[in-house]
Amino acid sequence: MKLRLIYSKTGLIRFTSHRDLMRILFRSFSRIELPIRYSEGYSPHPRVTFCPPLKVGMEGFNEVIEIHLTELVETDEIIVSLNDVLPVGMKAEGAFLPPEDSPSLGKLIREVEYRVYLSDSVRVTDRDIEEFMAKTEVPLEYVRKGKIKIINIRRGVEQLEYAVLDGERESLNMLLSLDENNRPYDVLATLSGVEREYLVGLRWQRLGFYLDLARKAFLTTKNTPNFSW
């Protein structure tokens, strides 16, 4: 059987790498004696699937882990027990047992939603968004392993939305296809004209994942992020 666990990662722990995050979670699973199923063979390992790694420095509000179990568990008890042992900034938000024939996590998720808080030096207008979305191709040049590559950064951008939160804080929401464009920093760099390296220091949030490209099915119960810093 499988358990899908939804958790958040906010505050200073957002600077934890994906590898360290895995260590934290596996240690927490061990402390609450979660009955994780292991693979067979010479070097068994936990049968656990993570959603795409969260970029270092980015907050996550509906992060998902799929865990194969050896026995049935009470999801409410798992949430309470995990929150007793997880470090500050991490919280188990929910858990459920999907049907046994449910596709794997990697095959389910199709879209990802990001939010970035803009600053005085990084601005995006409604006109910038309209012009970008009206195009079918927006070339982006970058260097990888010493070679210059060009991609169409417009491809896979399903939706862009500018908003003013609390009457003062400007933000940009992005809905991106995981298969075609999971490059939020590059999308913002193209829109704002600011170098990618300067954008990493902005406040970024990954709000969650969607099951289809019509944005009809959110993978988890969508939590309202706590915007207090």
Could you give all domains of the chain from N- to C-terminal order, each with its CATH number? 2-108 (3.30.70.580), 111-210 (3.30.70)
Average pLDDT, rounded, for the chain: 87
Quote the pLDDT of residue 146: 83
pLDDT in tens, 57-81: 999 999 999 999 999 999 999 999 9
CA pair distance 122, 133, nearest whole angstrom:
19
- Which class for 139: exposed (0-12), middle (13-18), buried (19 or more C-beta within 10 A)? exposed
Q: What does the pLDDT average to over 114-141?
A: 93
Q: What does the pLDDT average to over 172-189?
A: 92
Strand, helix or coil for residue 229: coil
Provide the whole-model pTM. Answer: 0.87
Band (pLDDT 50/70/90 cuts) for residue 211 is confident
- Which class for 165: exposed (0-12), middle (13-18), buried (19 or more C-beta within 10 A)? exposed
Assess whether pLDDT exceeds 80 at residue 228.
Answer: no
Which amino acid belongs to residue 213? Answer: L
Quote the pLDDT of residue 13: 95
CA pair distance 198, 210, nearest whole angstrom:
28
- Which class for 164: exposed (0-12), middle (13-18), buried (19 or more C-beta within 10 A)? exposed
CA pair distance 4, 94, nearest whole angstrom:
8
